[in-house]
Amino acid sequence: MPGILPIARSGLAAALVALTPLSATAQDAFKEFKQLDTTAKMPKLNAFIAPGGVPQGTKLHAVALEAKLTASGDAVQDGLSWYVFSPVAGSDGKLPLIASSQGGSADFQLAPGDYFVNVSFGRAGVTRKLSVPEDGAVEKQTMVLEAGGLLLNAVSGSDVRIRPNQLSFSIYSADVRDDGERGLVMADVPPDTVVRLNAGTYHVVSEYGDTNASVRADIQVEAGKLTEATLQHKAAQINFKLVSEKGGEAVADTAWSILTAAGDSVGESVSAFPTMVLAEGEYSAVARNKDKIYQRDFKVVAGKNTDVEVLMQDVQPEQAPAATTLQQLPPEQQGQAQAGQTQAHEALPSFEQLQSGSAGNSVDSD
């Protein structure tokens, strides 16, 4: 896939991907990085039961719940959110929330009846219907998330590190909807942050800076594994300054416009020393200072951060006004020309006059 680096530890030649198994001891791989949608670890008890959710005197049954990333894996010990809903919609059209819990495995006391149980692990989740009998014990419920983790980063060029505050990622579903768009899973994901997702393929867009440097790729998330992917940007950071001589101080109160080779504006700034991240290609830097315009063409090479100096001698060429050609007519033709001009300036009939037939009063007939 374009824009993704190769890796030695994976058979995917198009991506820098490290797959870390998340067994009982390897679940700590999630804890080594920042996480999104992480819940605090809580004891195994009912964190919330809706008031009035259980009629007084009703016999309750203990229901134990656990979740696994894969069917053959171990129970997840932290970061789970449990929700128990009634299957009958309320007056507002929504399913009433009966109970909830956060942390690892959960234990609930539920009245006989049917329920919907949902467990989420970050953006990964699964829902199951649960029936609690009038008599007898309820077997321990194990829910398989089929989930993994995705950790994203990016470089400029082949291996130039990018500051975290200049990077952001958006994760979309791989499928394209009928309107041609993809469903957004999560936006503005910082680098080096674990995102918990259901197993599957995701379309990832990386933004470097806020001008025109972006790259996208499809990445596979495997259940029970932490997938680390590094995307490659073909871009560089460029610093601009207007100077009176090479290596001189930047001139203040300068307005900048950066244009592509096709003349499209990609960035503007009012600063003595602006910085922009630009995609690889050819550009023109236009600087305006004290009613004068200076211009310089430059080229951006991926991974090569550099300064672009615009000299005050590089004045933008002005367009000359269109020339007017006069032709001297002989004396005998000057009178005819004047008569022709007078006739050409006579008023023509209006649309209303043509419709009413009164045009003949204002137009001479030959």
Higher pLDDT pick, 200 / 330: 200
List the structure tokens of 87: 């299957």
pLDDT the model gives residue 110: 93
Pairing of strands 61-68, 141-144: parallel
Q: Could you give phi then psi for residue 332, rounded to 5 degrees?
A: -70, -20
Higher pLDDT pick, 10 / 272: 272
List the structure tokens of 19: 């797959």
pLDDT the model gives residue 82: 97
Closest of 323, 134, 161 to residue 236, by C-alpha? 161
pLDDT the model gives residue 24: 41
Domains 1-233 and 235-311 share a fold: yes
Average pLDDT rounded to a whole number, residues 149-178? 93
pLDDT the model gives residue 339: 53
Q: What is the pLDDT of residues 325-350, one digit of tens each?
A: 445 555 555 555 555 554 544 555 55
- The whole-angstrom separation of Cα 265 and Cα 251 is 22
SS (H, E, C) the chain: CCCECCCCCCCCCCCEEEEEECCCCHHHHHHHCEECCCCCCCCCCCCEECCCCCCCCCCCEEEEEEEECCCCCCECCCCEEEEEECCCCCCCCCCCEEEEEEECCEEEEECCEEEEEEEEECCEEEEEEEEECCCCCCCCEEEECCEEEEEEEEEECCCEECCHHHEEEEEEEEEECCCCCEEEEEEEECCCEEEEEECEEEEEEEEECCCCEEEEEEEEECCCEEEEEEEEECEEEEEEEEECCCCCCCCCCCEEEEEECCCCEEEEEECCCCEEEEECEEEEEEEEECCEEEEEEEEECCCCCEEEEEECCCECCCCCCCCCCCCCCCHHHHHHHHHHHHHHCCCCCCHHHHHHCCHHHHCCCC
Q: Which residue has the tokens 């896939």?
A: 1
Q: What is the pLDDT of residues 81-116, one digit of tens each?
A: 999 999 998 889 999 999 999 999 999 999 999 999
Q: How confident is the model at residue 358 (pLDDT cuts 50, 70, 90)?
A: low
Q: How confident is the model at residue 187 (pLDDT cuts 50, 70, 90)?
A: very high
Q: Is the pLDDT of residue 356 over 90?
A: no
Q: Is the pLDDT of residue 220 over 60?
A: yes
Supply the mean pLDDT for the chain: 80
Higher pLDDT pick, 131 / 57: 131
pLDDT the model gives residue 286: 96
Q: What is the pLDDT of residues 29-87, one digit of tens each?
A: 555 444 554 433 333 334 445 545 556 667 899 999 999 999 999 999 999 999 999 99
Q: Is the pLDDT of residue 127 over 50?
A: yes
Q: Is the pLDDT of residue 5 over 70?
A: no
pLDDT the model gives residue 291: 87
Domain ranges in the chain are 1-233, 235-311
Quote the percentage of the chain above a pLDDT of 70.
70
Q: What is the pLDDT of residues 291-323, one digit of tens each?
A: 899 999 999 999 999 999 999 886 665 544 444
Q: Is the pLDDT of residue 285 over 80?
A: yes
Average pLDDT rounded to a whole number, residues 349-365? 52
Q: For 1-233, give the CATH class.
A: mainly beta
User: Check: CATH 2.60.40.1120 for 235-311?
Assistant: yes
Higher pLDDT pick, 16 / 9: 16
- The whole-angstrom separation of Cα 116 and Cα 87 is 6
